[in-house]
């Protein structure tokens, strides 16, 4: 996987904080040979309680913008870097469905954030995906890996 090679070249580690993907990004990375050299830590954080308690997502962000928001994705990516000491953190939050949707936040709405500590670089993207739960999760992981490979 190009992502693993890119991180190895830089001597960097990556950690993930996932909500709607349920650890699928971590699994996808660690399914590849060589991942033990670059993968530091993965957390599946569904509840707001642990988004706040474990990764430091401010309660005011969760209250004002909601768990599915750009602000929460950013806080997850930065929080996982701070927690793990990794150079790269990824935060993913969204609605994979089939339930949980609102008019403002439909099924398929996903935000992901990449935070690179050394460069103080923060990239957040909004996805509007279609399909069933598994398809939305897979499409999200594919988009995150493509973004990571394009910036590293």
Q: Per-residue pLDDT averaged across 124-137, rounded?
A: 98
Calculate mean pLDDT across residues 21-30: 98
What's the rounded mean pLDDT across residues 101-122? 96
pLDDT of the residue at 121? 95
Q: How far apart are CA 37 and CA 142, in angstroms?
A: 21
Question: Which pLDDT does position 54 carry in this prediction?
Answer: 96
Residues 6+ apart with CB under 8 A from 42: 15, 16, 17, 18, 23, 25, 26, 30
d(CA 74, CA 47): 16
Rounded CA gap, 93 and 69, in Å? 7
Tell me which DSSP letter residue 91 carries: E
CATH number, span 2-151? 3.90.950.20
Mean pLDDT, the chain, whole residue set:
97
Report the share of the chain in percent with pLDDT over 70.
Answer: 100
Mean pLDDT, to the nearest integer, of 98-111?
96
Determine the Cα–Cα distance for residues 120 and 115; give it in Å rounded to an integer: 7
Cα–Cα distance measured from residue 114 to residue 132, given in angstroms and rounded to the nearest whole number: 25
Tell me what the mean pLDDT of segment 130-143 comes to: 98
- Over residues 57-85, the pLDDT tens digits come to 999 999 999 999 999 999 999 999 999 99
Neighbours of 130 (CB within 10 A): 11
Q: What is the pLDDT of residue 43?
A: 98
Q: In angstroms, rounded to a whole number, what is the distance separating the alpha carbons of residues 34 and 97?
A: 33
Closest Cα partner for 62 from 44, 86, 46?
Answer: 46
Q: Is 25 helix (H, G, I), strand (E, B) or coil?
A: helix
C-beta neighbour count of 145 within 10 angstroms: 17
C-alpha–C-alpha distance, residues 4 and 49, integer Å: 32
Mean pLDDT along residues 6-27: 98
pLDDT (mean) for 48-52? 98
Read off the pLDDT of each residue in 47-64 and give the average, rounded to a whole number: 98
> In the prediction, which pLDDT does 109 show?
98
In which residue are the tokens 């929080």 written? 79
């Amino acid at each position: 996987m190009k992502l693993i090679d890119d991180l190895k070249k830089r001597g960097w580690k990556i950690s993930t904080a996932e909500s709607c993907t349920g650890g699928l990004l971590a699994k996808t990375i660690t399914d590849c040979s060589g991942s033990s050299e670059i993968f530091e830590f993965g957390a599946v954080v569904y509840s707001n309680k642990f988004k706040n308690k474990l990764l430091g997502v401010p309660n005011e962000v969760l209250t004002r913008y909601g768990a599915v928001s750009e602000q929460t994705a950013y806080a997850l990516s930065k929080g996982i870097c701070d927690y793990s000491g990794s150079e790269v953190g990824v935060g993913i939050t969204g609605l994979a469905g089939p339930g949980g949707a609102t008019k403002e936040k439909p099924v398929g709405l996903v935000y992901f954030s990449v935070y690179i500590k050394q460069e103080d670089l923060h990239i957040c993207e909004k996805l509007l995906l279609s399909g069933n739960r598994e398809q939305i999760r897979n499409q999200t992981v594919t988009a995150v890996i493509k973004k990571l490979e394009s910036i590293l």
